[in-house]
Amino acid sequence: MSPKRGDDVAPLPIGDEWRMRFATNEAAKGWAALCAEVPANARRCFDALRSDPLSTDNPDRQHRLRGRLATSAIGGQVLPQWEYEVTSGGRVRYLIDVDRRTVHFVYASSQHPKDTDVTG
């Protein structure tokens, strides 16, 4: 059975690891595709987010989004939105619920999201 919105990103956390969940069906499908396409990079992303989704050690790879993308809502709660660069184009976007130590995947794809493209 394929993962879907609301499901945990397997395996479940142990110790002080963060819980990770899919916020959308599209994120679940995109994550599965990333894992198939670039398993080593996806694993690095998984490990980084599981251990410290708020890390600023490598801001080119993992950072909070700004402007209109800085926050997003899930379940009526507005949370900070971050992004992890899995490949040059591939991204995982996630919301961080610090109180519940939960990371919500809202976007995962080998394609760069179009909402950050600058036109002009």
| pLDDT per residue as tens digits for the range 11-70 | 889 999 999 999 999 999 999 999 999 999 999 999 999 999 999 999 999 999 999 999
Sign of CA dihedral 55, 59, 60, 64: positive
Contact 27, 7 (CB under 8 A): no
Q: What is the pLDDT of residue 83?
A: 97
What's the whole-model pTM score?
A: 0.91
For 63-88, the pLDDT digits (tens) are 999 999 999 999 999 999 999 999 99
Chosen CATH of 19-113 out of 3.40.190.10, 3.40.50.2300, 3.40.640.10, 3.30.2310.20: 3.30.2310.20
The pLDDT score that the predictor gives to residue 115 is 74
